[in-house]
């Protein structure tokens, strides 16, 4: 599912274990199944560097282990890297990060995530 930006349409991508990401292909999202942390690190780093995608979703299972790579994306406006639950369930990592950002921006934790 692409995001339209002016006259440019940028697609979305998802990186994670095969069971979690292949279903997203039916929604038009480019899926990048990976089998190891090293492979996830390489794929996500490459996607960030190439800037072909508006958003790169990464499953929490891999995202928590490659935080240093994901931090690279914070230096640039795109792509945004967003952690999402895997097929094994949510670890609330993405929600906790959102809570931290909102607390910093608003001065209080409106989500009250523990």
In the block, tokens 């599912």 appear at 1
Q: Are 101 and 74 in contact (CB under 8 A)?
A: no
What are 43-59's pLDDT values in tens digits? 999 999 999 999 899 99
pLDDT of residue 108: 72
Task: Return the pLDDT at 114.
Answer: 62
pLDDT digits (tens, 9 = 90+) for 58-100: 998 899 999 999 988 888 888 888 888 876 666 566 666 666 6
Structural domain spans, the chain: 3-88
pTM, two decimals, is 0.76
Which CATH number describes the domain made up of 3-88? 3.40.50.10580
């Amino acid at each position: 599912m692409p995001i339209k930006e002016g006259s440019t349409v940028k697609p979305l991508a998802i990186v994670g274990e095969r069971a979690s990401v292949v279903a997203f292909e039916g929604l038009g999202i480019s899926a990048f199944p990976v089998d190891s942390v090293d492979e996830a690190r390489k794929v996500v780093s490459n996607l960030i560097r190439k800037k072909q995608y508006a958003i790169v979703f990464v499953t929490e299972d891999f995202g928590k282990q490659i935080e240093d790579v994901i931090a690279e994306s914070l230096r640039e406006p795109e792509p945004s890297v967003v952690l999402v639950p895997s097929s094994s369930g949510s670890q609330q990592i993405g929600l906790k990060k959102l809570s931290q950002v909102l607390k910093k921006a608003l001065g209080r934790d409106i989500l009250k995530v523990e």
